[in-house]
Amino acid sequence: MKSLHVAVAAGAALGLVTAPASAELITDWDFNGSLEWVTDGGGAPTFTSGDGGGGTSVSSSLLSWGAADDDNFIDDDGNFINVDANASNSRSALEIGDTSFSGSLQTNGAAQDTAEVTHFNNAILSSYPLLQSASLLSSLTLTQAAPPGDGSFDDDRTFPIFFTETLNQDSCFEGSASNCDDIFLLGGDPSDLQESFEVDGWLYTVSIVAAGLGTLNDEACDEAGAGPGCFGFMTEEDQATTAQFQLQVSATQVPAPGALGLLGVGLLGMGLAAARRR
């Protein structure tokens, strides 16, 4: 009889392993979305007062600040012109390359390009208006492509950005590659760059990633007026640095209720068998 109890327990445990999946994994997705600057309301860009003159420009794709004359720095299509000029006649800018994007990706596959943001980091007078904060409005839709079905995901969210225009001086904070790097901080929590949803027994996690985006060292966080462990990226002085944002989807199977029940039966059977042996 002891061997019968052991066989029942082993059979139940084996049932947990071989229980069929509740549905087929979605392997392929189509995606489309947009990324743009919030231009009004609570998330609109903020700048220092700029007591020494200068000006700013704000649109859904471009933020620029520094010298006053827009005509020298922005073309007829609203794109930034990176003019090589001295600090008294120069501007910095943040530009979204394409505010709309689309493509396809595979579950547990390589990350795919979405939108990109370029920082034109130029020396400008500290008496000009300097960017302090802004917000990125993100919209994303995933649609099931293979196998055919109606799985989908829609998400709209706003990412606050805090910007530090550093002084160009001989002694920079640790980790600065130039004299001195400017600092972007992502407000909120890094987990805001991930979102999970369930379709037919599979848990899918959507992640936004970008090269250079991560936890900054304590000196950089202090320079930006933030506490240790701040999250963001840095850009070099006199360079145009592009952050290419990417999208990836991973998946794990959610245990079916029946499989959990088999696990309980299996554990109970093995416990009873062990008790009888004792």
Express as a percent the part of the chain with pLDDT over 90: 71
Instruction: State whether 6 and 77 are in the same domain.
Output: no
Q: Distance between CA 217 and CA 125 in Å, rounded?
A: 27
pLDDT, position 7: 28
Instruction: State whether 231 and 276 are in the same domain.
Output: no
Instruction: State whether 144 and 163 are in the same domain.
Output: yes
Instruction: State whether 202 and 262 are in the same domain.
Output: no
Name the amino acid, one letter, at 216: L
Instruction: State whether 131 and 68 are in the same domain.
Output: yes
Instruction: State whether 13 and 75 are in the same domain.
Output: no
pLDDT digits (tens, 9 = 90+) for 25-71: 999 999 999 999 999 999 999 999 988 889 999 999 999 999 998 88
Instruction: State whether 169 and 260 are in the same domain.
Output: no
pLDDT, position 23: 83
Instruction: State whether 43 and 144 are in the same domain.
Output: yes
Of residues 123 and 266, the one with the higher pLDDT is 123
pLDDT at 198 over 50: yes
Domain count, the chain: 2
Instruction: State whether 52 and 14 are in the same domain.
Output: no
Instruction: State whether 201 and 237 are in the same domain.
Output: yes
Residue 49 domain boundaries? 26-254
Instruction: State whether 163 and 249 are in the same domain.
Output: yes
Instruction: State whether 45 and 181 are in the same domain.
Output: yes
The size of the chain, in residues, is 278
pLDDT digits (tens, 9 = 90+) for 117-164: 999 999 999 999 999 999 999 999 999 999 999 999 999 999 999 999
Per-residue pLDDT band at 197 (split at 50, 70, 90): very high
Are the CB atoms for 186 and 232 separated by under 8 Å?
yes
Q: Angle at Cα 244 formed by Cα 122 and Cα 79, nearest 5°?
A: 50
